[in-house]
Structure 1
Amino acid sequence: MLFQQEESLMQIRVAQEQDQPYLVREYLQHLSPHLGEAERYAWQHLQVERALLLEDKGFVVGFASWGRREGVRAGLAQLTGIRIIATRRQQGHGTELFHAVLQDMEAYYADLDSALRRVFLFSPEATAPFFARLGFAQRAVLNDHRAVNQTDILQILDR
């Protein structure tokens, strides 16, 4: 799957084996400094779940990941991450990447003679407005188990 903008060399593509070092760095930078966990994270997103990369002239400027939850017939997917590098934020790339992920989810379920019914995610409060603009509804506020005095927002998008 490849999504390409006409006016630039910007493209969105599914992560491949050669992207493993990028996925490891992404994990180490944003989630944990543990190399073994980072390598498992990369393997999981290349072999089991999905990762899409937003590139500009061959340089990764954004990343999104998702995974199927429950059985295929449930039509349930979790958006597990979406990030745009700081210098490219507020330019519509996050929205563009999200819509590419949604297309990828729908195609995945269609290929298995099923349908995407619901997407859910956990996000920090700071990104909740972004997901609300994309149609997600806030369902719960949870104490963030990773950080003191922080919360995660459970958000749902029904299809």
Structure 2
Amino acid sequence: MAPNSTSKLSPFEILMGRPFPTPWAVKTGTLITGDLEFIQEAYVAKLIEKLNSIYGDVSLSFPLPSSAPTHPFKPGDVVLVKALHQHKSLEPPYGVPVTVEAVTRTAILVEGNPSWIHASRVKRAPNLLIGERDDHRDDHPDDFRDDNAANLEEKE
């Protein structure tokens, strides 16, 4: 086990708080049974002290996590949430538009769902789905008549 270049400690030393035991390590003499509790208490205290110092060294060697969000969503945005399982092949992969209630750095909480959703499963809802209509449409959203069809009718 090679030591880490940053912390100068092997994985065993980081986890166990002591060097890896080897067959040629110096052994202590015989123990008296009355001293066993004292030796255990001293060992545990030194082990905790060593683990705390190693944890401090190792945790300081890693970069701090970024505080910038990993997604563009904000509370109030209308989004589509991708279903985890497609039960039928003809079902759309995304559900109905929902409003974002809260966000963290990587997750989103939407209205009507008590659990947080990872931002990779979410996309911004198209404007047509959230009630906004394009300016070039008529007053009736159900009228999808093509302008070319209207021109053909006028020529006849």
Q: Name the TM tier (shorter chain).
A: under 0.3
TM score, norm. by length of structure 1: 0.21
More strand by share: 1
Q: Which of the two has higher C-alpha Rg?
A: 2
